[in-house]
A and B are shown apart, each in its own frame.
Chain A
Amino acid sequence: MATMPASLLFQDEYAHQILAGIVQMFQLTICAWLAAMALGVLLAMLRMTHKRPLVALVVAYVEYHRNIPMLVQIFIWFFGIPTLLPQTVQVWINQQHSEFIFAVVAIALCSAAYISEDLRSGIRAIPSSQMEASRALGLTYLQAFRKVVLPQALRLALPPLVSNTVLLFKNTSLAMTIGVAELTYVTREIESQTFRTTDIYVVATVIYLSISLMIMAAGAGLQKRYRIQGR
C-alpha cells in the first residue's frame, strides 16, 4: 500500500502492458457481443416459429450452453475441437493466434443462449394479436417480426440484456485460462514480475468496475430514452 497505484501506471513498460490488456479485453467483448447478439436474435426467431424440430434444436442449444460452465466450454473449444480437424488445418491453426478466436467463439455461443432467452421472454410478453394484426395488414412474417414485434420486445428485454452484457464483459476474463493476454492475464503477469500485488490488482479492479458501471448506466439511459409513452 506504500505506493500509489498511479505510480505503477506511469512506468512505461507496465503502462504498455496494461493498455494492451485493456485493448484485448475490449476486442474480446465487442467481437463476442456482436456475434452473441446476432445468434441470439436468430435463435429467438427460430424458437418463435413453433416448428417442432427447430424449437427442439433451439431448446437443446440453450440447455447445453446454460448448464455447462463457460470455462469448460472454452476448454472444449480451445483444447478439444482442433483435435477433431484434419492435420493440415491443425497445423495452420497452431500458427495463428487461435486462443483469441476460440475464446470469442466459446463466449459468444454461450452468451447467445442467455440472450436468446432474454429476447424470447420479451417476445412472449407481446400479445400475439400484434402479429396477427400486422399479418392481416399485409406485412410478411419477417416484416411483422422486424417492424412490429421486435421493437417492442427489445424494450421489454432491455434490462436482462444489459445485465447479460455486463456478464459477457466480466466473462472475457475467463480467456486468461487459455492464454489470451487480456486484462486479468496481464495483471497476473505484472504481479509476478513486480510483486506489487496491491497496486496492480487495485488498478485492474477499478478498470473492470468502472466499465461494468458504465454499461449498466448506458442500459439505464437507453431504457429511459426508448420508453414508450403512456406505459
Chain B
Amino acid sequence: MNDIISIVSENWMLLLVGQYPHGPMGGLVLTLILSVVGLALAFPVSVLLALARISPFPWIRLPATTIVYMVRGVPLIMFIFWVYFFLPLLTGRTVSGTVTMLITLVIYQAAYLSESIRAGIEGLPRGQVEASRALGMSYLGTMSRIVLPQALYNMLPAMVSQFISTIKETSLGYVISVNELTFSANQINAALLTKPFPVFMILAAIYFVLCFTLSQLARRLEARIAGKRAGRQKAHPVPMPTVAHVVTK
C-alpha cells in the first residue's frame, strides 16, 4: 500500500499528461483524447456504413459488408501494424504514432458501431418507414428525419459501451509507442524495475474507475430508454434490439 502511494505521488504527472509540457501530450489525457476524437470521427463513418449495409443496391452493400467482416475477423494489433506501415507509404510522409492509432481506432470502431446502428434501425417497426414514404418523403428524408433519430436514441447505451471499448483499445497504442496511459505506466515500471505489481495495479485502477463509471451510465440510460419504450409498447408492440440481434447478423 505504501508502494502505491509513493509511486502515485512521485509519478502522477507522468500518468496524467506524459512528458507534457516538456514534450508531447501523453498519459491519461492522451488516452481520453484518442477515445473521444476516435469515437467522434468514427460516428459519421459508422452511420454511413450502417446505411450502406442495409442498402438495396448490392454495389453499395457488398463493399460495406466486406469492411465490417474484415474488421470483425482481424485482430486490432494487426490493423495497427497495417496502418503503421502503409500509411507513410500512401501519404509519402512520416506519420506520428498518435495519428496512426487514431486512424486505426476510427476504422475499427466505425465497423463495430455500424453493426449496433444497423440493429437499431432494423429494430424499428417497418411502419415508420412505410408511413413516411407514403406521406411523400424521399428515402434520404425518411432515413435522416424519421429512422435515424429514433434508432440512434435507442442505441445511446450501446454507444456508451462502444466508448468504453475504445478507451480499452487505446491501450494497444503501447505496441507502436504511443505515449498514452499504458505506455506511461510501462515507463514507470522500467524506471523502478522492482515494483511491477503496484505499478500495474495503479494502471488497472485508473482504467477501472473510468470504465466502470461509464458502464454505470450506460446501464442507467438503458433502463431509462427501456422504460420509455415499454410505455410505448402498450399501444404498439416494438421488438427490442437485443445483443443477439447485433451479433447474429
B-binding residues in A (CB < 8 A): 63-64, 66-73, 75-76, 79-81, 83-84, 118, 121, 156, 159-160, 162-163, 166, 170-174, 176-177, 184, 187-188, 197, 201, 204-205, 208-210, 212-213, 216, 220, 223
**B contact patch SS:** helix
A131 to B69, CA, bound (A): 39
Taking CB atoms, residues of chain B closer than 8 Å to A80 are 196-197, 199-201
Taking CB atoms, residues of chain A closer than 8 Å to B182 are 69, 71-72, 75
A173 touches B78 (CB 8 A): yes
Known: A69-B167, A80-B197, A197-B85. 18 other contacts (CB 8 A): A66-B211, A67-B207, A67-B212, A69-B171, A70-B168, A83-B194, A83-B195, A156-B244, A170-B76, A173-B76, A176-B175, A177-B174, A187-B81, A201-B78, A201-B82, A209-B70, A210-B73, A216-B73
Interface centre among B69, B186, B204 (most CB of A within 10 A): B204
A215 to B86, CA, bound (A): 29
A-B contact count (CB 8 A): 126
Taking CB atoms, residues of chain A closer than 8 Å to B171 are 69, 71-72
A184 to B189, CA, bound (A): 25
B243 touches A69 (CB 8 A): no
Taking CB atoms, residues of chain A closer than 8 Å to B65 are none
A67 to B167, CA, bound (A): 10
A184 touches B200 (CB 8 A): no
Closest chain B residue, CB of each to CB of A212 = B73
Which residues from 73 to 121 on chain B have a C-beta closer than 8 Å to any C-beta of chain A? 73-78, 81-82, 85-86
Asked if B162 is an interface residue, CB under 8 A from chain A, the answer is no
> 6 tightest CB-CB pairs across the interface, nearest first?
A212-B73, A80-B197, A67-B211, A79-B196, A173-B75, A69-B171
Contact partner, A162, options B77, B195, B247, Cβ 8 Å: B247
Taking CB atoms, residues of chain A closer than 8 Å to B189 are 79
B212 touches A69 (CB 8 A): no
A170 touches B248 (CB 8 A): no
A75 to B203, CA, bound (A): 10
Closest chain A residue, CB of each to CB of B31 = A69
A184 touches B77 (CB 8 A): yes
Closest chain A residue, CB of each to CB of B214 = A67
Q: Bits for B165-178, please: 1 = Cβ < 8 Å to A, else 0.
A: 00111011011000
